[in-house]
Every structure is written in structure tokens, then in C-alpha cells.
Amino acid sequence: MLKIYLARHGQDTDNAAGILNGRRDEPLTDLGREQARTLAREIKDAHLTFDAVYTSPLQRAEVTARTVTDALGIAPPVIMPNLIERDFGIMTGKLTKDITALCAPDVIQADIITYFLSPEGAETFPDLVERGKKVIGEVRRRHQDGNILLVGHGDMGKMIYAAYYHLDWQSVLTMFHFGNSELLLLSEDSPAKAAHVFTFKQFNH
């Protein structure tokens, strides 16, 4: 059976500053590096290992992925371009606190995050679902079974989850928070509601 584990990167400098990063390529903070080490330690303590690890090309994901592979002593992560975060369009670099002012009423409010839907130049969530299907298809073409780890981002990660479980993207946005260095499991024998493997409440940035 093929099991796809999906991790979000540790906190980067944009996360810490309340800046919408999208495809900005900022480094992890000290906390973000600690989050990545904690994720690696939790994976190791759970006796999980991976047949392959794929990462977004952005450094916040790649460094998180490499922290895991180094801790497990397995092959380094391979870049999968389709794992890159959503293109935020004109919202790239804006402050998260300004989302409602700039994008309302075209927003969805979740418990922690306000999601903007279609500002100029941004990928839409249906776009991300389609890209998520491509990610899942690419993994399945390369691997018939085993454990695969994908390391990526918040918005894109949620839409990979939506694509895998054939869920409505709007529902998924408000269903759960996908925090820094948290881990999801996508598997035929793991229902959607049981996807979270590791949740670090103190790391939800």
C-alpha cells in the first residue's frame, strides 16, 4: 500500500513577520529550524521511515525536508516543482493583517487564517486542486507502494489533501489548521478526518 505523508515547512522569516510569502524564498527562523528538528525527532521516535522524500523548491521546505532525511540517514530530498506554494499574485509580500481590507468580500475566514480567493495574478484554490492531482499522480507513477514524504506549504498542502480525498476545497480551508512542521497522512486505510499524524499547537504560525 502506498502511504503519502505530507509535512509543512518550519516557520520562515515571513511567517514570523506576518508577511504573505507565497513564492518569496525566505530562510527558516531559529524557531523554524527547531520545528524541523522536532518533526524529524517525532518521525524517528514513531519508527517511521520513507522510501523517498520530495520537496518544494523553496528553501523553507527544502531545509525542513533535508533536516528529516539527515536525521533518518536516508537519501536526500528530491525537488518536485509542483509542490511549490501557491502564487499569491499581488498579495505577495503584503501583511496578513491586511487581507480582509484588501480582498473582502472575496475571502474565507478560518479559525486562524483568512484566505483570499482570487486577487490579481494569484492562483485560485481550484487551480491548486488541479496541481495537487498532478502531485498525487506523479507520486503514484513513481511508487507503487511504501512510505513517501512530501514537504511543502500551507495552502498547497491543504489542496493536495482535498485532491487526495476528493473533498470540496472550500470545506477543507476551514476543516483544520495545517501548522508549521505538522504532518498529515494520506492513505487508503486512513480516513480524511484522521489525517493529522503530528500536531504541534505551539508551532502554529
Q: Summarize pLDDT for 98-117 with one digit per residue, the tens.
A: 999 999 999 999 999 999 99
Q: For the chain, how many structural domains are there in total?
A: 1
Q: Give bridge partners of residue 95 from the DSSP assignment.
A: 19
Dist CA 185 CA 150 (whole Å): 10
Task: Say if CB 162 and CB 178 are below 8 A apart.
Answer: no
Per-residue confidence at 193, pLDDT binned at 50, 70, 90? confident
Query: For every residue of 61-116, which 3-state class applies, written as one string?
Result: HHHHHHHHHHHHCCCCCEECHHHCCCCEHHHCCCEHHHHHHHHCCCEEECCCCEEE
How remote is the C-alpha of 148 from its chain's centroid? Answer: 14
Q: Which of 62, 85, 123, 182 is catalytic?
A: 85
Active-site residue flag, 188: no
Residue-level pLDDT at 191? 80
Please give the DSSP secondary-structure letter assigned to residue 180: T
Q: What is the CATH number of the domain that holds 95?
A: 3.40.50.1240
Q: Which cell numbers hold the place of 9? A: 515547512
Give, rounded to a whole angstrom, the gap between the first and last alpha carbons of the chain. 33
Q: Which three cell numbers stand for residue 57?
A: 523548491
- Supply the range of the domain harboring residue 82: 2-203
Render the burial of 98-115: b for 16+ CB within 10 Å, e for the rest. ebeeebeeeeeeeeebeb
Q: Quote the percentage of the chain above a pLDDT of 70.
A: 96
Average the pLDDT over each of 75-89, 106-120, 145-159, 183-197 and give the range with the smallest value: 183-197
Nearest CA to 16 out of 2, 43, 37, 34 is that of 34
Instruction: Respond yes or no: is residue 177 known to be catalytic.
Output: no
Q: Which residue has the cell 530562510?
A: 27
Please report the pLDDT score of residue 196 as a whole number: 75
Cβ(98)–Cβ(50) below 8 Å:
no
d(C-alpha 188, C-alpha 174), whole Å:
23
In tens, the pLDDT along 70-96 reads 999 999 999 999 999 999 999 999 999
- Could you give the CA distance from residue 35 to residue 12 in angstroms, rounded to a whole number? 10
- Contact by Cβ (8 Å): 36, 120: no
